[in-house]
A and B are shown apart, each in its own frame.
Chain A
Amino acid sequence: MSVAFKSAIDDAVLDELRAIIGDDDRVLTNLSSRVNRTRVPAPFPVHRWAEHMPDVAVLPTSTEEVSEIVKLANRLRIPVVPRAGGTGLADGAVPLRGGILVDVKLMNRIHEVDLVDRTVTVGPGINMLKLNEELRRHGVFYPDDPASYPCSLVGGRIGAGGWSLLGARYGHTRENVVSMQVVLPTGEIAQIGDGGGRKLRKSSTGFNLKQLFTGHQGTLGICTEATLELAPRPETEFAAFFAFEDYASAWETTGILSKSGLATIAGVVLFDEWKIAYLRRDDEAYIEQPESVRAVVAVAMYGRRVEVEPASKVVMQLGRSAGGRYLGDEISSGDWASRHDRYAIPLHGRSTEGQAVPMSWHCEDAALNYSALPKVREAWHAIVARYRERYEIFDDWGMFAYTGGANKPWADYLVEIDVGIWEQRLNEETWSAWVDCKREIAEVTLAHGGSITACHGATRAGDAELVPTEMGTAWPVVKAIKRALDPNNVMNPGKQSLDEAYE
């Protein structure tokens, strides 16, 4: 069966949407409302903007409204694209085939704070920072902390299956969502969790559907309500940054820290030589560092003071055990605080002539094991260097490796290479070059036993076509699930090569 789409929005459809929503101000067809819901911060084919615009954006305020919208779309075979903050670094929230964009930002209420069973139930349009401002007076917090913390929303985090800066201590998004309400691609409403309970963290009844509905990139449904974990608000934070003269020593120290068994460690971050060179251009913390600073390891801990204080002394020893030099209190505390919000930075890179130019941020975010980091790093930088030599739009902003295992930080890493893309110079040739570059980077990841994304999702040209390869013998299972839940391929079509489910 082949399911092909083209936009099918006409006045009759708009009338039905307005009848469902009951408020014309929440059914948006004007150009600016649609343009503003087209792209995300990641590099975007600005020369083909119109191809990615939704035909209409709707802002529901209830699960029932979302359900009726999706039923309409499924009946008429119209693509539906869920969108929360639109802060993703891949294309989960970018319409590929027009259709109805369901913007959940108005579903931003806190429905319940349960301090006894330690959950908070919210709409998908709430932001973690705003949520935690409310939770603070109760002495608890929701510990999901992406680099977009001040601007991303809970619904997008669930759709993407996001990674958290504090994941080594508190888990990532999928560990911190206890259950959720989901509108399926046919419009039915399902309560999804571990077993049937809304507030249970562990069950062996039925299938564990919660994992399936966390990180599907909006291809299996729309989360309309989420019950989230409440952790005790940390009493004490400690961060320490160590400098190294070579990558190998920094890599070794990253392993030492992440395998230390210190339970308060929330994250360990490895900055490679290219990253330090990039920061040395214009980051106040690194500009005046001596040339001997070529790699950095950062570690942060959260918890009760009785835990963090003695552990901090161990961290200071371990951080120096392979040649690390402490970068000082000011950088350690200041730079760590800035890690919660990387979206506040006006991004710019350098043209091949060295001129500062505005660039968008491509963050390739593979999941890799510790042992693979050194070789992958060399291969990735070589790829980007080759493309920069030929095309002026590329700039290598270096690599980070972050501890990636939830509560088990010792072996898995979210490894990112940040590549600046000069969007003003994009055309068909340079866009194709960027897609090719991205694909080569992803192929290196697969060759080293990794996964092509640890956080953002494989929704973009350049890696979406590699999803079947990575999934291997599980790919028929993935396709069967997609086809069963979304028989007409209306839910965020075109992502992750899932069109193959309908061939």
Chain B
Amino acid sequence: MSIFRLGEQQPPEARRINDEVVMRFEHVYEVDPRLMELTGQQSMPAWDTQRIVDGRWDYLDWMHDHFADEVLLAGEESETMEGRG
């Protein structure tokens, strides 16, 4: 169970991924705010970001289950991301 602590809801500082993308939470990519001047962004507490990310994974799992009883994987790592962490 996660506990809501107000002090933990401020998103951390973004780190740059590339010229157009930043990251505040692990594996959560964001369009660089410099490119969002014409499209306003609302500030979002950490729990809400996590809720949306978790919801996305739940949705993909649901979709797999909807179409087949099981998902068979090749069981192999990415051959393009080798050595990239």
List A residues at the B interface (Cβ < 8 Å): 129, 132-133, 141, 145, 233-238, 240, 243, 281-282, 284, 287-290, 292-293, 302, 305, 308-309, 312, 316, 325-334, 337-338, 340-341, 344, 348, 350-351, 354-358
Contacts and interface: CB of A to CB of B under 8 A. Distances in A.
Contacts of B68: 233-237, 302
A355 B39 contact: yes
| 4 closest A-B pairs by CB | A328-B78, A237-B68, A325-B79, A234-B68
B67 A340 contact: yes
A132 B71 contact: no
Given A236-B72, A329-B73, A333-B73, 7 more contacts: A237-B70, A316-B76, A327-B78, A328-B79, A330-B78, A333-B64, A355-B35
A326 B79 contact: yes
A173 to B, nearest CB: 17
A168 to B, nearest CB: 15
15 contacts: A132-B66, A235-B70, A237-B67, A243-B80, A282-B20, A287-B17, A288-B18, A326-B76, A333-B64, A333-B71, A338-B63, A344-B59, A350-B35, A351-B38, A356-B31
Contacts of B60: 333-334, 337-338
Nearest to A334: B60
A331 B78 contact: yes
B74 A237 contact: no
Contacts of A129: 66
A233 B64 CA distance: 12
Contacts of B74: 238, 240, 312, 316, 326, 329, 332
A282 B31 contact: yes
A354 B32 CA distance: 11
Contacts of B27: 284
Nearest to B73: A329
B36 interface: yes
Contacts of A312: 72, 74
Given A287-B17, A356-B31, A237 B77 contact: no
B76 A281 contact: no
